[in-house]
Amino acid sequence: MDEFMMGLIYLEGINLLLSAALLWVFAQNYRVLKTTPGMGLVLFSAVLFIQNLIGVYLHYTTGEFYAKMLATHAFGLEAVEMIALAVLTYSAWKD
Threshold 0.75, pTM exceeds: yes
Burial of 20 (0-12, 13-18, 19+ CB in 10 A): middle
Which element (helix H / strand E) includes 71? helix 68-93
Percent of the chain with pLDDT over 70: 99
For the segment 39-70, what is each residue's pLDDT rounded down to a tens digit?
999 999 999 999 999 999 998 898 888 777 78
For residues 71-81, average pLDDT: 91
**3-class secondary-structure state, position 66:** coil
pLDDT for res 66: 77
Residue 89 in this model has a pLDDT that exceeds 70: yes
* Residue among 11, 12, 86 nearest 52 (CA): 12
54 vs 25: CA distance, rounded Å: 22
